[in-house]
Amino acid sequence: MSKSSLTKYLFVTGGVASSLGKGIVSASLGKLLEARGYTVTIQKLDPYINVDPGTMNPYEHGECYVTNDGAETDLDLGHYERFLTTETSQANNVTTGRIYQSVIDKERRGDYLGKTVQVIPHITNEIKEHVQLLGNTGQFDIVITEIGGTVGDIESLPFIEAVRQLKWELEGDAISIHLTLVPYLSAAGELKTKPTQNSVKKLRELGLQPDILVCRTEHSLNSDIRRKIALFCNVEKDAVIESIDAESIYDVPLLMQEEQLDKVALRKLGLKDDTDVELKMWKEFLGRLKNPKHEIHIGLIGKYVELRDAYKSIAEAFIHAGASNECKVKLHWIHSEEVNTENAKKTLDNLDGILVAPGFGDRGIDGKLVAVRYARENNIPFLGICLGMQCAVIEYGRNVLHLENAHSAEINPTTTHPVIDIMEEQKSITEKGGTMRLGAYPCSIEKGSLAHEVYEKDNIMERHRHRFEFNNKYKEQYESGGMKASGINPESKLVEIVEIPEHPFFIGVQFHPEYKSTVANPQPLFVGFVGAALKHAQNK
């Protein structure tokens, strides 16, 4: 912690309301700084008491995003990876729970012997250490730290205090950005600045003066409004940045560039702002995204479809894969509990591709099995992810191999044919948090397979989040019966990919390919699946 620290820190707080898009603004700013040649990483501090979001229901928290090193994290980390070229890790997501757990462990070890352990300084010091973990690796010029929640929440107070202290200690090497809302009152026909003023006032009561304000708005902020916000919030006028509603989240970096958010941030951090911004590839992606030549319909069969954030990375992976195929992907969110043999044709026949989503537990499983069968029997391109792959195995066992009542031991522990079974190393585990098979594992792909055709590689690494696996006792029977295990973990021999060579495009993967799809590198399975769906649509 010194003035000469090489890494610069940028803190992003939010006020007035939640869901203003702090994650996207942080990712967009990160993208712009990266496009100027700086190495950037983004971290999220979450004020809840869960140690990580892994144990939370997707209805509560949306998708749980998994990093290479197996951290179960906030879905904003997915945005950071999709926008930037830096991969994230456990250090990129820190919760109140993790901070307290670490402080309590230290207290029990006797690290604070003789002292009363308190929020200030022990919790705040722990937060400060976690914020600087990434900076101290020496890998990054800039660390952006997004503070979850809204200023004024009781939960986020220690985080704001830690940011205040860090800003003071790091002097010119840290700045803070506050994201607020400037609502439009249609009855008055006016944009209102008071909520922003109050939010900044609240922040200043906590000792934090924002250097930049990013104002979410539905209408453009004119010069008078900017001047008014600047004057009453104590920021420079050019540091009042408009963040107008965008058609796509991928437009936001360009909108932020127009507003010069990156330039202002660099100037305030004392970094050079005359470097070129390299966004050619990004603009090409946007060009393809906005001018599709074709359109396809994909059904996403899942049990959390009411909350689309539950499948965030899958939806984004389709945007990347669609753009790379110059094709608009229209996602149809289909509730697995509502699919049955009677309505299968009506619900699924107009689709060009069927994706059966990941998940846990038995709710909606029968609908997923019906969807798999429909895709298999009607030559509709199919992609099964994690539980979706397991459903493909169960369905094939039951309806093709005649393994009566074949099931996953997760759903029917006493089934006569546990074609999906608990992994050996999971059997003795009773704790729920962070105990699944998590993070990146290698997979060897068989040459000549569909998987090999889409990946164009012999070996891949993909991220996992599951407890159950394909039961290798049945492998021979499946392979001779027409379902191939085309991807295998070279060490544990766990089956990672299954496919049906007879079918135009039928593939199930035990891992989660969606976590690795980015604007720069659309995920090959999604690209291949969209390509196959396009072909299916054109042949109809």
Residues of this chain that bind ligand GLN (CB under 6 A): 358-360, 386-387, 410, 465-468
384 touches 525 (CB < 8 A): no
Amino acid at site 479? E
Q: Which is nearer to ligand GLN, 72 or 259 (CB)?
A: 72
Residue 386 falls in the annotated catalytic set: yes
Taking the least distance from each CB to ligand GLN, the nearer of 82 and 465 is: 465
Phi, psi at residue 445, to the nearest 5°?
-110, 135
* Strand 174-181 relative to strand 212-217, pairing: parallel
Residue with tokens 């699944």: 436
Distance, C-alpha 267 to centroid of its chain = 30
**Given the complex with ligand GLN, which of 148 and 358 has the nearer CB atom?**
358
* C-alpha to C-alpha distances, 198 to 154, 179, 238, 420, nearest whole angstrom: 17, 13, 20, 55
Closest CA to 393 of 365, 364, 424: 365
Which of residues 232 and 360 has its CB atom nearest to ligand GLN in the complex?
Answer: 360
For residue 516, the minimal CB distance to ligand GLN (Å) is 15
Using DSSP's 3-state secondary structure scheme, residue 511 falls into coil
Q: In terms of CB distance, is 328 or 465 closer to ligand GLN?
A: 465
Q: Residue 536 — φ and ψ, nearest 5°? A: -60, -45
Q: Which residue's CB is nearer to ligand GLN, number 126 or number 514?
A: 514
Instruction: Kindly name the residue from 126, 462, 499, 514 that is annotated as catalytic.
Output: 514
What is the C-alpha separation between 319 and 518, in angstroms, rounded? 10
Q: Please, are residues 95 and 46 in contact by the beta-carbon 8 Å criterion?
A: yes
Residue with Cβ nearer ligand GLN (83 or 470): 470
> What torsion, rounded to 10 degrees, do the Cα atoms 337, 341, 347, 349 define?
140
Q: Determine contact, residues 47/159, Cβ cutoff 8 Å.
A: yes
514 catalytic per annotation: yes
Classified as helix, coil or strand, 128 is: helix
In the complex with ligand GLN, the residue whose CB is nearer, 131 or 411, is 411
What does the alpha-carbon distance between residue 459 and residue 491 come to, in Å, rounded to a whole number?
A: 12
Q: Which of 64, 327, 386, 391 is catalytic?
A: 386
State in angstroms the smallest separation of the CB of 410 from ligand GLN. 5
Strand spans (E) along 35-173: 40-46, 65-66, 72-73, 93-95, 142-147
Q: How far is the CB of 471 from ligand GLN (least distance, A)?
A: 12
495/485 Cα distance (integer angstroms):
6
As measured in angstroms, the least distance from the Cβ of 416 to ligand GLN is 20
Catalytic residue among 130, 466, 512, 536: 512
In this structure, the strands spanning 353-356 and 40-46 are unpaired
Cβ 82 to ligand GLN shortest distance, Å:
20
Q: Return the amino acid letter for 215.
A: C
Residue 515 CA to residue 289 CA, distance in Å, equals 20
Quote the least distance from Cβ 24 to ligand GLN, whole Å.
25
CB of 422 to ligand GLN, least distance (A): 8
Q: Do residues 531 and 325 lie in contact, with contact meaning Cβ atoms separated by under 8 Å?
A: yes
Q: How far is the CB of 465 from ligand GLN (least distance, A)?
A: 5
DSSP-based three-state secondary structure for 331: strand
Query: Whose CA is closest to 496, among 504, 482, 507?
Result: 507
Active site residue 417: no
Q: Which residues have a catalytic role annotated? A: 386, 512, 514
